[in-house]
Amino acid sequence: MIIIASRKEVAQLAGVSEATVSRVLNGVGPIKEETRLRVLEAADRLGYIPSALARSF
């Protein structure tokens, strides 16, 4: 069984908003380096994989 983490779960683990997770993962907007690293670490811990379907919108 594969469990896919959501951006919401990444945000909760990193202690940031879903919008911040989105900006970090898409590489847009100003983000503090500390925050960027926290989000990337949370995404890695949870095994976050961006949805190809969601990106097509």
Q: What is the pLDDT of residue 39?
A: 97
Q: What is the pLDDT of residue 4?
A: 80
For residue 30, the domain's CATH number is 1.10.260.40
Q: What is the pLDDT of residue 49?
A: 87
Task: Let me know if residue 40 belongs to a domain.
Answer: yes
Condensed to tens digits (0 to 9), the pLDDT of residues 4-30 reads 889 999 999 999 999 999 999 999 999
Task: Let me know if residue 35 belongs to a domain.
Answer: yes
pLDDT exceeds 70 at position 2: no
Q: Which residue type does 57 have?
A: F
* Residue 52 near residue 7, CB atoms below 8 Å: no
Task: Let me know if residue 31 belongs to a domain.
Answer: yes
Task: Let me know if residue 18 belongs to a domain.
Answer: yes
- Rounded Cα distance between 26 and 29, Å, is 9
Task: Let me know if residue 23 belongs to a domain.
Answer: yes
Range of the domain at 24: 7-55
How many domains in the chain? 1
Task: Let me know if residue 43 belongs to a domain.
Answer: yes
H or E stretch covering 15: none
